[in-house]
C-alpha cells in the first residue's frame, strides 16, 4: 500500500496514541481524517492543515457513524484505512460487585464502537476490494487480570470480532487488532506513578506497528505489544 496515495480514518484521535499514529501517517504522506466525539466540528469535515482533517463523530451511535462517513466520502471517494482506537478502561470491583452500568459502559465504549464502524466501512472496502481495518484490543484480555471484568470481556469481544471479520473478507482487505499492554502516556504515568515505565509500550511503537500492518497482507492477527 502506497502511503502517499491513501486516505486513513482514525476513530478516537485525540489521545496520545491517536496523535502519534496521525503524526506518523502524515509524515509518510497519507491523508488523515481524525474523529473525536466532542471536537466542535459538528458542521462537517474540517481541514486542519495539508492532508490533515477532523470530523465529529460518536461511534457509539450508528447514525452518527453513518452521517460522518457520508460526509467523509463526499470529499474522499475512497477510504483505504480505518483505525479504531476509541475505547475506555475501568477497574476496581469483582465480577459480582460490578454494577450493570459499568458493564454497559465498557461494552458500548470498547465493543459497540468497533462493531458500528466495522459495519459501515466493510461494504466500502469490499466495493473497492482493498482496505485495512485495524482495531485496538488489550493484552490483558488475553491473559486476564482481577477486578476488571467489564473491560476484559468487552475487549475480548473485539478480538473475536476482528478474527470473524478476517474470515469473511477477501481480496486485498485485511483486519487485525493491536493488543497493547499499558501504554506509556502522561495520564497513565500520573495514575501509576510507582510503576516501572520501562515495561510500557510507547505510542510511537504502536504507530510504527500500524505502518507494518498497512503494508502487510496478513489478516486476523492479534498483535500483542
pLDDT at residue 165 is higher than 60: yes
> Does the pLDDT of residue 130 top 60, yes or no?
yes
Mean of the per-residue pLDDT values for the chain? Answer: 94
Per-residue CA distances from 59 to 21, 119, 126, 128 (Å): 19, 11, 21, 23
Q: What is the pLDDT of residue 42?
A: 59
Number of helices and strands (H, E) in the chain?
A: 8, 8
Q: How far apart are CA 126 and CA 40, in angstroms?
A: 32
Q: Please indicate whether residue 167 or residue 43 has the higher confidence score (pLDDT).
A: 167
Q: How many domains does the chain have?
A: 1
Q: How far apart are CA 122 and CA 58, in angstroms?
A: 18
What φ, ψ does residue 167 adopt, rounded to 5°? -75, -15
- The whole-number pLDDT of residue 43 equals 64
Q: Which CATH number belongs to the domain containing residue 113 in this structure?
A: 3.40.50.720
Q: What is the pLDDT of residue 187?
A: 80
Between CA 148 and CA 91 the distance in angstroms is 4
Whole-number pLDDT of residue 134: 98
DSSP, collapsed to helix, strand or coil, labels residue 83 as strand
Cβ–Cβ < 8 Å for 154, 111: yes
Closest CA to 133 of 177, 171, 167, 87: 177
Q: Which residue has the higher pLDDT, 210 or 41?
A: 210
Residue 14 near residue 57 (C-beta atoms within 8 A): no
pTM to 2 decimal places: 0.95
- CA angle, corner 180, sides to 34 and 137, nearest 5? 70
DSSP 8-state code for residue 97: T
Domain that holds residue 204: 3-224
% residues pLDDT > 70 (the chain): 97
Q: Reply yes or no on whether the pLDDT at 39 is more than 90.
A: no
Amino acid at each position: 500500500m502506497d502511503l502517499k496515495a491513501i486516505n486513513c480514518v482514525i476513530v478516537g484521535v485525540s489521545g496520545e496514541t491517536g496523535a502519534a499514529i496521525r503524526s506518523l501517517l502524515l509524515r509518510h504522506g497519507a491523508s488523515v481524517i481524525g474523529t473525536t466525539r466532542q471536537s466542535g466540528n459538528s458542521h462537517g469535515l474540517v481541514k486542519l492543515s495539508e492532508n490533515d482533517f477532523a470530523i465529529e463523530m460518536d461511534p457509539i451511535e450508528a447514525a452518527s457513524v453513518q452521517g460522518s462517513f457520508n460526509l467523509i466520502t463526499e470529499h474522499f471517494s475512497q477510504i483505504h484505512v480505518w483505525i479504531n482506537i476509541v475505547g475506555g478502561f475501568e477497574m476496581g470491583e469483582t465480577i459480582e460487585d460490578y454494577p450493570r452500568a459499568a458493564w454497559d459502559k465498557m461494552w458500548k465504549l470498547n465493543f459497540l464502537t468497533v462493531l458500528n464502524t466495522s459495519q459501515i466501512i466493510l461494504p466500502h472496502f469490499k466495493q473497492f476490494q482493498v482496505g485495512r481495518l485495524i482495531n485496538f484490543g488489550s493484552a490483558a484480555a488475553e491473559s486476564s487480570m482481577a477486578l476488571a471484568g467489564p473491560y476484559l470481556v468487552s475487549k475480548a469481544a473485539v478480538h473475536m470480532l476482528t478474527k470473524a471479520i478476517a474470515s469473511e473478507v477477501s481480496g486485498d482487505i485485511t483486519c487485525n487488532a493491536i493488543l497493547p499492554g499499558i501504554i506509556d502516556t502522561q495520564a497513565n504515568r500520573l495514575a501509576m506513578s510507582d510503576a516501572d515505565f520501562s515495561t510500557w509500550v510507547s505510542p510511537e511503537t504502536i504507530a510504527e506497528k500500524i505502518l507494518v500492518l498497512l503494508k502487510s497482507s496478513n489478516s486476523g492477527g492479534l498483535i500483542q505489544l
